Amino acid sequence: MLQYPEPIAKLIDSYMKLPGIGEKTATRLAFFTLDMPQDDVDDFAQNLHDAKTKLHFCSICGNITDQDPCVICSDPTRDQSRILVVEQPKDIMALERMNEYHGLYHVLHGVLSPTTGKGPEDINIKSLLTRLQQHAEVKEVIIATNATPEGESTAMYLARLIKPAGIKVTRLAYGLAVGSDIEYADAMTLIKAVEGRQEM
């Protein structure tokens, strides 16, 4: 059976490491890459390298950034009294697109999940509690984990930790469908979810 030359076989294997990319799509992408102008290929390779080497997590909120602290944490015009907690950095971008929320964020980098063995020490909870202890101006924590069983249990866990400190804890309203991800929600749904958040 005819085998692909090693360079293209390795390129196909690389594309197959991306989520949702099977062998057929990876092969199509590999051959498309071969047909790209050399400058575009060089830019693509440089962009991959830069994204991996120049980005890191903000030391305050955990958002992905190329500066520390990130642009949101270092913006004095943001509402310092509210912190909106999300699962992943991509959720911040979805919420920022609606241009209605002007407070701060905190990224958990996951949710509690007993089935996968992910406990409180495996996600970014400790730094959130430290932030709340060090910044008395925070009056509300908005929990915006996804409407999944893991997201719900994480929200309840956080509420139990935070409420004894006298900080208001709210949850995004269910303009978001149960089981849906924030990153895929349209702007109006997100606006309504933030506006209709409920105290926990």
pLDDT beyond 80 at 143: yes
Query: Are the CB atoms for 80 and 104 separated by under 8 Å?
Result: yes
Query: Are the CB atoms for 92 and 85 separated by under 8 Å?
Result: no
* 48-102 per-position pLDDT tens digit: 999 999 999 999 999 999 999 999 999 999 999 999 999 999 999 999 998 889 9
pLDDT beyond 90 at 187: no
Residue ranges of the chain assigned to CATH 3.40.1360.10: 64-199
Residue ranges of the chain assigned to CATH 1.10.8.420: 6-54
pLDDT beyond 80 at 191: no
CATH code for the part of the protein at 6-54: 1.10.8.420
Q: Which among 116, 181, 118 has a CA at the least distance from the CA of 145?
A: 181
pLDDT beyond 70 at 178: no
For 79, phi then psi, to 5°, come to: -70, 110
CATH architecture assignment, domain 64-199: 3-Layer(aba) Sandwich (3.40)
